[in-house]
Homo-oligomer: A and B are copies of this chain.
Amino acid sequence: MVNVSTSREKRTLNWMDCLRSSGYRLTEARQAVIDVLAKSDRALNATEIFDFAREGYPSLGLVSVYRTLEKLEELNLIQKVHHPDGCQSYIAGFTGHQHLMICRVCEQAEFFEGDDLTPLIEHVSRESGFTIQEHWLQFFGICSECNNSATSNNLRKKSS
């Protein structure tokens, strides 16, 4: 179990290095986007990133948010998060392919390792003849913190 917060502070610098060493320029707009995303423990959509980033860099354009997201995803620094209603958001990736668990109350996200999935994949693959190349696993629920405040406080719930 790896919490997203791990070494969140170094991440900003690390990402900028990645961008530079991939031949991309280091601009203020990109830094503003990276600052927001690298520090967040929940997935954010383009508009949210835009709003947060403009607090520190008001001249930022929404287009630059999309363009930066594109680059960061291409470099595997962030990954897409899919929501049941179809909306997309982005969260800092840890390393390689990981699975997400998302709290419906505070929206905090945690990664978990999915090694235990291998037997299922093999089983399904054998039975169906499918060659499985990629998988997608997300859990939705209530994190321990929100669980606790719910028991002590008996309500407090966000929209579904």
Contacts and interface: CB of A to CB of B under 8 A. Distances in A.
B129 A140 contact: no
Interface of A: 1, 80, 82, 84, 86, 88, 101, 103-104, 110, 112, 114, 116-117, 119-121, 123-125, 127-144, 147
A121 B134 contact: no
B116 A143 contact: no
Contact of A116 (B110, B120, B133, B138): B120
Copies of this chain, how many?
2
B130 A142 contact: yes
A112 B129 contact: no
A128 B134 CA distance: 25
A129 B147 contact: yes
A137 B137 contact: yes
Contacts of A131: 141-142, 147
Given A82-B86, A86-B82, A88-B86, A143 B119 contact: no
Contacts of A132: 101, 139-141
Contacts of A1: 124, 127-128
Nearest to A115: B120
Contacts of A130: 101, 103, 110, 139, 141-144
